[in-house]
Structure 1
Amino acid sequence: MKQMIIHGGKPLKGDVWIGGAKNSTVTLIPASILSRTPVTLEGVPRIADVDNLMDLLSEMDVECDFQDTTLRIDPTRIERRPLPAGKIKSLRASYYFMGALLGRFGKAVVGFPGGDDIGPRPIDQHIKGFEALGAQVDNENDQIIITAPKEGLHGARIHLAMPSVGATNNIILASVTAKGQTIIENAAKEPEIIDLATFLNNMGAVIRGAGTETIRIEGVDQLRAQVPHTIIPDRIEAGTYISLAACIGNGIRIHNIIEEHLDSYLAKVEEMGVVTEVDEDSIYVYPAGDLKMVQVKTDPYPGFATDLQQPITPLLLTAKKGEGVIIDTIYPKRIGHIAQLQKMGGAIRVENNIILIHPTKALHGAHVSAGEIRAGACLMIAGLMADGETIISNAGNILRGYDRVEDKLRQLGADVEIRDVK
């Protein structure tokens, strides 16, 4: 158990550098086992999910070496083994081993995935995709067993009921070495999908249309890594620091961003009245003046990301008048942070899964709990804004998604500490 201790109310200033995208990294690490040669990933964030994925790789005799922000993975001696349910349940992205193992070995035995408690996140679209490729999917003893036919997987036309990022990624992983052409319709368009396709194409895959609603994959015999792959910047981490800068910043520049990945978020922040200046790969957030409430509605990319509805919530609390509204169409049950903000004096409530926010003159420190990654980020920002001491329990959830967060906050002038507690 970890706690984050924050002594808030201190204006922050300076520069912060964004790490590689968590949501790319947790896909690329399982994808690396498709390579017949060692893989080098650069710009890898120092987050707990990377450590957990490396542990899973070690279960299959895959060697890893993580130095600074470079992760080297050698899958040349990989052994297919059932992945332990305990470690699988520690993070949801472990389900990408389903597609990767199926593509590499023709069989995957994986425990049911865990991850954040943000409401139902079924994997029926993943299973539909595997079955369309010819695989048999069974559920035995809390494990998913996916088996390709003797002749191997075959290409198929797969229409997703919704543009699921997880299902799109998993079908890509399984189909890059399948025979023939696979077409994914109503595919997710997130930048992390493009990052995965770029990584695989550089190893010899043939993937076209990533970032559009139709992705076409021509199966190849095998993949071989030739060059290092640099992970795209984390748009969710960037959005979190933009909110932080607007809430409690006295001028903060956020480096290593891709502006177009943040378009919908920046549009909403600027609608509130936050003044920013965007350069080629950085954004400067000026000290915020009087802000107005807005309505936020999450949607699949390029819409407003569900992972940013919680980090923007403390910023809405600083608005001077009106009522703010957040409607999460992706995960409507993603409301665990609301009760915690109420403990800190936030004028915020939930009605029928709609979050309603009213101006809050000041927050005060309190003992709160980070139920999941983005809730933790929300409470971290609130704690930096609040008068007095805030203790965030389950702070390990923050470390799962935010690269070297303690160091970065201290560099901005925050009084923050992460402690191990029994």
Structure 2
Amino acid sequence: MQKFVITGGRRLCGELALQGSKNSSLPIMAAALLCCGDCTLHSCPKLTDVYAAARILNCVGCKCSFEGNTAVINSENIGSTEISEELMREMRSSIIFMGAMLGRAGECTVSVPGGCELGPRPIDMHLAALRKMGVDIRESGGSIICKAPSGRAKGAKISLAFPSVGATENIILCAVTADGETVINNAAREPEICDLCGFLRSCGADISGDGESRIIINGKHQLHGCEYTIMPDRIVCATYLSMVAATKGELILTNACVPETEPFLSVLEQTGCSIYTSEKKIYLRSGSRLRAVRDRIRTMPHPGFPTDAQAVLMAALCVADGTSVFEENIFDCRYRHTDAFVKMGADIQVLGKVAVIKGREKLHGANVEATDLRGGAAMVIAALCAEGSSEISRICHIDRGYEKMEEAVGLFGGDMRRV
């Protein structure tokens, strides 16, 4: 099993073009199921989760191929509407194939998805919404069997109890070919929802309101293929900004989605970093020890502070001057990375959904194990700040969301090896 070996204590400086967004790529790849003709996706990141999505597409009869960061998906011939439990458990967001398959074939058989262990992430909202759209759903032996009796889901008015990204995506994917109009109230407003809707509009879908809390979809009988460029990854952006800020370095990020990253940038600026932005570029200079963030950092649905950026910013604040407080409001079990930080010498107290970080002058190297995708990336940041050598195992979690992170760190002048 591979691991990262990191020697910390170096000031990181450099320039990097951001990869395409994982959280956009996966639902867009699922959406390709709805299309007749080729879908060509540019800026598709080379990640294990993306390859898992490709395996799901191939197993139901699609043709999915990659050349560099371009994926070509042809869904002309769907030979199966069943996705095996083995494939579903390869990634947590595999549940979005339920809505896409219903939209394409009017039926599907899936299982509960796998991925990071972030505590319960129930799909009750997904199932309740699809039932409102006329889909019969039953569970048998761990499988979820879905069927629209008329062969096509029906438009409906759906009000979500919480602006769930996954539920919003599943409803959209089912609704774009449903019979009639679907209205989603309290819809998720994340930029990746807008990217999915942008792709679907390029395929002929009738969608409006994405980016707001009310999305309206008028179903079409059929969608066509298109050529589309996936948005940059705002969480990878937050990760590298936190990494370089923590090491008192300097960074230029190109291919950046600046407005979408603003909820994170506005917090990072409070640490004393100098941050300058242009249309698709972010420049950061640290140069001295970070300051703690005075206001409590509360994770919230977009446009609030993103839960996926909580761990990476916390890693940087472990070496800040003063005390910072996080409040995690999205997922349970999202502080599992704190044990690794403490092992490296950090001063952290966790009580329920609150974590209090008292910054230390220095951390020290340690052998730790990645617990999940963002927690694993945060451990890399802590190791790069630390004196001495660290080893991070179970890096399969990190590879789910970052293209060869060790190469990016090497570009910045860091010492990080995959062994």
TM-score (norm 1): 0.97
Q: Check if 1:259 corresponds to 2:258.
A: yes
Task: Work out the CA distance in 1 between the residues paired with 2:115 and 2:151.
Answer: 34
Task: Work out the CA distance in 2 between the residues paired with 1:289 and 1:389.
Answer: 22
Structure 1 residue 140: Cα displacement: 0.8
Task: Work out the CA distance in 2 between the residues paired with 1:404 and 1:181.
Answer: 43
Query: Which blocks of at least 5 consecutive residues in structure 2 are unaligned?
Result: none
Q: How many residues align?
A: 417
Q: Check if 1:241 corresponds to 2:240.
A: yes
AA at the equivalent of 1:79:
G
Over aligned residues, Cα RMSD in angstroms?
A: 1.1
Q: Secondary structure at the match of 1:310?
A: helix
Structure 1 residue 403: Cα displacement: 2.0
AA at the equivalent of 2:257:
I
Which residue pairs with 1:195 in the alignment? 195
Which residue pairs with 2:107 in the alignment? 107
Task: Work out the CA distance in 2 between the residues paired with 1:359 and 1:178.
Answer: 53
Q: Check if 1:414 corresponds to 2:414.
A: yes
CA contact (8 A) 1:275 1:288 kept: no
Task: Work out the CA distance in 2 between the residues paired with 1:214 and 1:178.
Answer: 18
Q: Secondary structure at the match of 1:2?
A: coil
Task: Work out the CA distance in 1 between the residues paired with 2:276 and 2:178.
Answer: 46
Q: Check if 1:306 corresponds to 2:307.
A: yes
Which residue pairs with 1:350 in the alignment? 350
Which residue pairs with 1:296 in the alignment? 297
Query: Which blocks of at least 5 consecutive residues in structure 1 are unaligned?
Result: none
Structure 1 residue 152: Cα displacement: 2.4
Matches for 1:307-326 after TM superposition, within 5 Å: 307-321=308-322, 323-326=323-326
CA contact (8 A) 1:372 1:398 kept: yes
Task: Work out the CA distance in 2 between the residues paired with 1:346 and 1:319.
Answer: 11
Matches for 1:369-384 after TM superposition, within 5 Å: 369-384=369-384
Structure 1 residue 290: Cα displacement: 4.0
Q: Secondary structure at the match of 2:224?
A: coil
Distance 1:381 1:85, change over 3 A: same
Out of 255-264 and 299-308, give the one that drifted further. 255-264
Which residue pairs with 1:13 in the alignment? 13
Task: Work out the CA distance in 2 between the residues paired with 1:167 and 1:370.
Answer: 28
Residue deviations 1:92-146, cap 9 Å, x none? 1111110000000000101211111112110011001110100011111111111
Which residue pairs with 1:285 in the alignment? 284
CA contact (8 A) 1:59 1:81 kept: no
AA at the equivalent of 1:174:
C
Structure 1 residue 292: Cα displacement: 2.4
Q: Check if 1:145 corresponds to 2:150.
A: no
CA contact (8 A) 1:80 1:105 kept: no
Structure 1 residue 45: Cα displacement: 0.7
TM-score (norm 2): 0.97
Distance 1:2 1:284, change over 3 A: same
Structure 1 residue 361: Cα displacement: 1.4
Structure 1 residue 333: Cα displacement: 2.4
Task: Work out the CA distance in 2 between the residues paired with 1:224 and 1:352.
Answer: 48
CA contact (8 A) 2:81 2:101 kept: no
Taking only the aligned residue pairs, the percentage that are identical comes to: 37
Matches for 1:85-104 after TM superposition, within 5 Å: 85-104=85-104
Task: Work out the CA distance in 2 between the residues paired with 1:54 and 1:333.
Answer: 29
Residue deviations 1:298-325, cap 9 Å, x none? 100000000000000122112212x210
Task: Work out the CA distance in 2 between the residues paired with 1:13 and 1:288.
Answer: 10
Task: Work out the CA distance in 1 between the residues paired with 2:80 and 2:151.
Answer: 19
Structure 1 residue 151: Cα displacement: 5.4
Q: Secondary structure at the match of 2:101?
A: helix
Structure 1 residue 21: Cα displacement: 0.7
Residue deviations 1:7-26, cap 9 Å, x none? 11111111011111110011
Which residue pairs with 1:219 in the alignment? 219
Q: List structure 1 segments (4+ residues) > 6 angstroms apart after TM superposition.
A: none
Task: Work out the CA distance in 2 between the residues paired with 1:148 and 1:101.
Answer: 11
CA contact (8 A) 2:248 2:289 kept: no
Q: Secondary structure at the match of 2:249?
A: strand
Q: Check if 1:210 corresponds to 2:210.
A: yes
CA contact (8 A) 2:337 2:375 kept: yes
AA at the equivalent of 1:297:
R
Q: Secondary structure at the match of 2:33?
A: helix
Q: Secondary structure at the match of 2:146?
A: strand
CA contact (8 A) 2:109 2:145 kept: yes
Task: Work out the CA distance in 2 between the residues paired with 1:302 and 1:139.
Answer: 35
Task: Work out the CA distance in 2 between the residues paired with 1:290 and 1:358.
Answer: 14
Residue deviations 1:227-248, cap 9 Å, x none? 3110001000001111011011
